[in-house]
Structure 1
Amino acid sequence: YTTQMSSVKSLNLSEPVEWFPTARALPRKVIMHVGPTNSGKTYNALQRLMTAKTGCYAGPLRLLAREVYERHQSQGIRCNLVTGEEVIEDIDQNGNSASITACTVEMVSTTKPLDVVVIDEIQLISDEKRGWAWTNAYLGVQANEIHLCGEASAVPLIKKLSEMVGDEFEVREYQRLNPLVVQKNSLKGELEKIQAGDCIVAFSRKELFDLKAMIEERNGLKCAIIYGSLPPESRAKQAQDFNNPDNDIKVLVASDAIGMGLNLSIKRVIFSKADKFDGFGQVPLAFPFVKQIGGRAGRYKTSTMGQSNNNPDAFLDADNQVLPQTDSPGSVTTLWSDDLEYVREAMASPIVNIKRAGLYPMDEHIITFSNEFPEGTSTRQILIAMGQAAKLSETFFLCNFESLLNIATVLDMIPTLTLSDKLKLLKAPVKEKISLCFQMFAKLASIVANGQIVNLTEIKGIDLSLLKLSGQRLGMDELNRLEVLHSNISLFLWTSYRFPVNLIDRIGAMELKVLCEQKIDEALAQTRNEREQMSKLRQEK
């Protein structure tokens, strides 16, 4: 292998701006909307998209893509939805598809001429794993007008990129629609001080459920719960329950999954601690991370307040008048006093500009590079060599290959897979820490390699029995299994869009996915009811 590497030429990735020659020939105008959370920047960009003849919204999460899709549909504007796991094409009576599309950033088209494109959360262009998708979207879209929404930290880098490609560049700055303050005191460890509208943030699933149980028992306030392994649809349902001022759910217990993708009516954000486990040990929360999560505070509404249809960042009083900014302030604090000064310092910290944009080689780069290796060289070896041989300019970096290497290891165990199929499968959304998800992925790849034709229910080992339970209690064990099942169904759907001949009955799989989400919601509700019953028993005793 070392001998092979020594004879391999370098992989020139130093000019990604030239990967999209059609876009380079266009006179593009770039408008960058920058500001903190709750400043209305994305709203203003979307208003422009709604007036375009042709256009696209590209966001980091399918929740956001669906929200934009539904917002267009609700206002009578035809719109398609395209994510890795779901495609809804709005086709009229003449067979014409809608000219506006809401999609996840990986799915944005770089071959279709458009009037307006909105790319959300542009600062994620520097993300170690997914930054390449924002780079490709920005460099590649064939749009006359590009609206980039995100943090001010991305302005210098995007300005530099716009100069490299010759785009006209404009920055529009936004301020928060309401004030945000760090409170003078922490809760001093007293969960009894938690109030309606609070969101307490923790960083492990176990701690989240423990906090939820204690708050419901001590305060009598019911809690919604949001964390990363919950399906996006279940997260949205929990957020909806919490946001509804007429609901009896008054507190949100959440992980950093609330950082983006959900509209949340939070009055106060409470950090349970100022450090988190990074896979190796406890590390302090990064300042930008604290600012992002803390910035979610300040959109709290009561039962006498409505939400503006024109601007989701504004609230209305009982007379349908937009409330002044100072009427819905947000606040941040900590559960423990020892963490408060750190959070205060983080919230006041200056903006740290991002320096580089992520890259991932185009398929043609990988194919050409792999041709320099002897037949039988593993995909994993080729990827490792590619990472070592890549030549980049100082403006770009190669996105983290670690997850790709794990997936490549699985693919290398299936010798009949073609390189073309492997390149499609390398980007599969496999939950790396869950062995059952890797097993499911291996089965799907084998089905493709063997030319089989199967539906979801015909795949051995996938546990659908939980979906048949009726009237039975769903505890934590069932919740864990349902979350894994949902991940595997989503993985089937993702793969089915890339290999529709092999993986069939997508409609049936979607129905099972919805049923799984309903069961997860049931399990979360039963967890709440269990806590209530335990509390009543203690009181009776």
Structure 2
Amino acid sequence: PHVEPPKIDPGEAVTYFEKHVQEWVKNLATTELLEKFGIPKRDLGILLDLYADAVTSKSLSDPESVDYYYIDRFAEPLAHRIDVSVIYSTIFFKWAVNPAQKTLFLSKNVPQSTLDNLRQLYETTDRTYIAEEFPAARKMRRKVIMHVGPTNSGKTYHALRAFAAAQSGVYAGPLRLLAHEIWERINLGQIAPLGSESPDFKGTPEYQNSFDKLPHADAIRKHGNPMHARLCNMVTGEEQKIVGVDVGLLSCTVEMMPLNQMVEVGVVDEIQMIGDTQRGSAWTAAVLGLPAMELHLCGEETAVPIVQELLKHTGDEIVVKRYERLTPLTVEETSLEGDWSKIQKGDCVVAFARSNIFKIKQEIEKMTKLRCAVIYGRLPPEIRSEQAALFNDPDSGYDVLVGSDAIGMGLNLKIRRVVFDTLQKSRGAGGGSEPLSISTVKQIAGRAGRFGMHTGSDAPGGFATTLAEKDMAYLRQALATPFIPLPLARVSFTQESFDRVQHTLPLNSSTATVLQAHHYIGALPRKMRYHESDLSKLAICDFIDKTGGRMTTLEKARYLTAPVAWRDPHSVAATKVFMRASNMHNYVDVHTVIETSPEFEALKTVEKAKDLGHTLRSTSNALSSMESLHKALILYIWMSFRAPIMYPHFDKAVELKIRVERALQWTLVSMSSA
């Protein structure tokens, strides 16, 4: 369960540090964890007592020590009570390996072997100079251009024009949908390269040299501009579209960026996600490590200070370009006052629980006779895209969109008005709820009135309101509040650091202990912090150790980063089957692990109903089963890219994935009233 961290004012960090050190030292969890790291019990008590004495006697409270040990961290935003323990522990290790303590320790009969072990643990996990982990980028002096502004300000388009004009380049976005969209637009010539407005522009190299030989030349003529067309490959965690071996442009998800390949232009989208507690480390790696002569970072103003901090010592040049919204966004005078009959064509209702999305859809279709498309996080990206297309098409009969915060990025949607069902969001299992962040409210509301998406008699601009009147004050406050700078960038373990730490810890240390060592020992640069979500994976680590059998350290680390829906029992069950099959047979047969599952039977039931024109008895159960089946197939495909010998049936998995997507789309359409 979520335990609220203390709220410590900036001027109170040192006082808090001194006052509560004994609590940390005497906590049984502290000693148990440090013993797991290999510190002998007989020495640990002495070391912890000396640490507490040093802190309470103010030996670490002078300005130089406060700066050296980065004690102000206590006053930075803390997500969970456990963060306090992490800070105490990392300061302890940095203090313990300080040569100034050695004489004291030896006088207290702490053996040299223990001191050597402490130093080895510290040095193995030390990432103070994390920028040096990216040698290709450090060999360059990059020009970093930040394009910042609100949703619907055109900031990304300017960066994409530079990408479209480059001989070599990488676009990296947060979603497979976005990577696919940019891949398609670049190949079709739908993005005008920088300089194409010049009278001297004769077309892209592809247009001038080989246009008629392109296999998709007819599609370019129909949907794009032949003079702007470029060849571009695509790589995501679950999909690859290779149009040519020597193609200079690549569209990918942020986690799949090539960090060892020098390019002319790099574009990283949604840069504010650098502070995301689940995935922020991928954006940190992009900022520090993408070896692009010109690196474009697109997103919110909130990210500017943290990017400047990260690049302070890299020698890179930073330019900030700011943009204003292209169409107005207006908060309506009143809410819907709890009345779904006030929903209009072009509305997008945003809810934050899958079950609520379908309840709202049914209510709206019952009270207004308007049909609703749906978009939510568990829905495969391909189906989200199809549902978006139904909503955008004025002749489809789908005039309203009901979705989760998944509508916040990655889809072009003709939304006239955003309606928030609530402005509260669940913290997760056992965690209660909390208000949506101001950044989230701004991003979702900003989807209304997208520039260029409305035509005809529509006046430009968008609107935002809420279902309940009680939420209107917070909506107005959030949209009027200036952006607050991100306090931290996130980092995560790498496969290399995982392997290195595993070999430093005692023999047969658990996967959880390896993960904890990164957090509780490792030093990081200022304004950087490991994902707190890592420490919520300790039970997952135990599951991997128990089920994984003979898996290597790197295989275990791979499962920790794999797209497993750990809260979904069906996904966990499929993962267990995958692991056991790889242990027993050294390969995973897609027929054995997928086509014998109850979820596959649900797929066959849906396909039969579709072919016969029947309705389903339990649409909700069918949807849930197929969502889980789709996630299992995505995991298989993801693994097949990384371990193709062990997961050999890539083509079959893709074929099954397409079947599931068709069945899902049919099920969603059949749920709407005629």
TM-score, length of structure 2 as denominator length: 0.73
Query: Is 1:24 paired with 2:143?
Result: no
1:459 partner SS:
helix
Q: How many Å apart are 1:247 and its aligned residue?
A: 1.9
Match of residue 115, structure 1, among 258, 261, 264: 264
User: Could you tell me whether the CA contact under 8 Å between 1:201 and 1:271 is conserved in 2?
Assistant: yes
1:30 partner SS:
strand
- 1:221-232 map, 5 Å: 221-232=370-381
Match of residue 255, structure 2, among 106, 113, 129: 106
User: Could you tell me whether the CA contact under 8 Å between 2:501 and 2:517 is conserved in 1?
Assistant: no
Residues of 2 paired with 1:242 and 1:381: CA distance?
Answer: 48
Q: How many Å apart are 1:316 and its aligned residue?
A: 7.2
What residue is the counterpart of 1:407 in the other structure? 540
What residue is the counterpart of 2:650 in the other structure? 506
Match of residue 439, structure 1, among 573, 579, 582: 573
2:362 partner SS:
helix
What residue is the counterpart of 1:310 in the other structure? none
- 1:323-402 map, 5 Å: 327-400=459-532, 401-402=534-535
What residue is the counterpart of 2:126 in the other structure? 12
Query: Is 1:481 paired with 2:625?
Result: yes
Residues of 2 paired with 1:230 and 1:503: CA distance?
Answer: 24
Residues of 1 paired with 2:507 and 2:482: CA distance?
Answer: 52
Deviations 1:30-54 (A, max 9, x none): 1111111111111111111011111
Residues of 1 paired with 2:278 and 2:185: CA distance?
Answer: 29
* Amino acid paired to 2:554: S
Match of residue 78, structure 1, among 231, 237, 241: 231
Structure 1 window deviating more from structure 2 (48-57 vs 461-470): it is 461-470
Deviations 1:43-86 (A, max 9, x none): 11111101111111111110100111111121231111101111
What residue is the counterpart of 2:446 in the other structure? 295
Residues of 2 paired with 1:500 and 1:458: CA distance?
Answer: 17
What residue is the counterpart of 1:3 in the other structure? 35
2:630 partner SS:
helix
Deviations 1:401-440 (A, max 9, x none): 1354343222211231111222222210110111121121
What residue is the counterpart of 1:425 in the other structure? 559
Residues of 2 paired with 1:172 and 1:210: CA distance?
Answer: 43
Q: How many Å apart are 1:315 and its aligned residue?
A: 4.5
User: Could you tell me whether the CA contact under 8 Å between 2:414 and 2:453 is conserved in 1?
Assistant: no
* Amino acid paired to 1:278: R
Structure scoring higher RCO (CA < 8 A, sep ≥ 6) equals: 1
Match of residue 179, structure 1, among 328, 333, 341: 328
User: Could you tell me whether the CA contact under 8 Å between 1:447 and 1:502 is conserved in 2?
Assistant: no
2:541 partner SS:
helix
User: Could you tell me whether the CA contact under 8 Å between 2:493 and 2:518 is conserved in 1?
Assistant: no
What residue is the counterpart of 2:351 in the other structure? 202
Query: Is 1:135 paired with 2:284?
Result: yes
Residues of 1 paired with 2:518 and 2:489: CA distance?
Answer: 18
Q: How many Å apart are 1:451 and its aligned residue?
A: 4.9
* Amino acid paired to 1:335: L
What residue is the counterpart of 1:537 in the other structure? none
Residues of 2 paired with 1:117 and 1:195: CA distance?
Answer: 41
User: Could you tell me whether the CA contact under 8 Å between 1:68 and 1:102 is conserved in 2?
Assistant: yes
- Alignment size in residue pairs: 507
List gaps (5 residues or longer) in structure 1: 300-312, 533-541
1:276 partner SS:
strand
What residue is the counterpart of 1:69 in the other structure? 183
Q: How many Å apart are 1:254 and its aligned residue?
A: 1.0
Q: How many Å apart are 1:255 and its aligned residue?
A: 1.1
* Amino acid paired to 1:13: R
Residues of 1 paired with 2:257 and 2:345: CA distance?
Answer: 40
Match of residue 494, structure 1, among 638, 644, 666: 638
What residue is the counterpart of 2:388 in the other structure? 239
Query: What RMSD over aligned residues (CA atoms) do the two structures have, in Å?
Result: 1.8
What residue is the counterpart of 1:193 in the other structure? 342
What residue is the counterpart of 2:400 in the other structure? 251
Q: How many Å apart are 1:205 and its aligned residue?
A: 1.5
Match of residue 146, structure 1, among 295, 300, 303: 295
Deviations 1:263-283 (A, max 9, x none): 111000111122222232232
Q: How many Å apart are 1:193 and its aligned residue?
A: 1.2
The verdict on how the C-alpha distance between 1:16 and 1:218 changes in structure 2, with shifts beyond 3 A counting, is same
* Amino acid paired to 1:74: L
User: Could you tell me whether the CA contact under 8 Å between 2:151 and 2:446 is conserved in 1?
Assistant: yes
Aligned sequence identity (%): 39
Query: Is 1:286 paired with 2:433?
Result: no
Residues of 2 paired with 1:134 and 1:450: CA distance?
Answer: 37
The verdict on how the C-alpha distance between 1:184 and 1:131 changes in structure 2, with shifts beyond 3 A counting, is same
The verdict on how the C-alpha distance between 1:338 and 1:108 changes in structure 2, with shifts beyond 3 A counting, is same
Deviations 1:255-302 (A, max 9, x none): 111111111110001111222222322322222211111111113xxx
* Amino acid paired to 2:432: G
What residue is the counterpart of 1:303 in the other structure? none
Structure 1 window deviating more from structure 2 (47-56 vs 67-76): it is 67-76
User: Could you tell me whether the CA contact under 8 Å between 1:49 and 1:56 is conserved in 2?
Assistant: yes
Query: Is 1:456 paired with 2:590?
Result: yes
Match of residue 243, structure 2, among 90, 96, 108: 90
1:17 partner SS:
helix
Structure 1 window deviating more from structure 2 (448-457 vs 487-496): it is 448-457
Query: Is 1:265 paired with 2:265?
Result: no
1:391 partner SS:
coil
User: Could you tell me whether the CA contact under 8 Å between 1:54 and 1:116 is conserved in 2?
Assistant: yes
Match of residue 211, structure 1, among 357, 360, 364: 360
Residues of 1 paired with 2:445 and 2:146: CA distance?
Answer: 23
Q: How many Å apart are 1:20 and its aligned residue?
A: 1.2
Residues of 1 paired with 2:426 and 2:505: CA distance?
Answer: 40
Residues of 1 paired with 2:362 and 2:438: CA distance?
Answer: 29
1:178 partner SS:
coil
Pick the structure with more strand per residue: 1
List gaps (5 residues or longer) in structure 2: 1-31, 40-116, 190-228
User: Could you tell me whether the CA contact under 8 Å between 2:149 and 2:322 is conserved in 1?
Assistant: yes
What residue is the counterpart of 2:210 in the other structure? none
TM-score, length of structure 1 as denominator length: 0.90
Query: Is 1:314 paired with 2:447?
Result: no
Match of residue 167, structure 2, among 47, 53, 58: 53
Q: How many Å apart are 1:238 and its aligned residue?
A: 0.8
* Amino acid paired to 1:430: V
User: Could you tell me whether the CA contact under 8 Å between 2:305 and 2:485 is conserved in 1?
Assistant: yes
Deviations 1:422-471 (A, max 9, x none): 22222101101111211212222333344533431222653323333323
Residues of 2 paired with 1:273 and 1:4: CA distance?
Answer: 44
Residues of 2 paired with 1:315 and 1:481: CA distance?
Answer: 35
The verdict on how the C-alpha distance between 1:97 and 1:33 changes in structure 2, with shifts beyond 3 A counting, is same
User: Could you tell me whether the CA contact under 8 Å between 2:130 and 2:524 is conserved in 1?
Assistant: no
2:561 partner SS:
coil
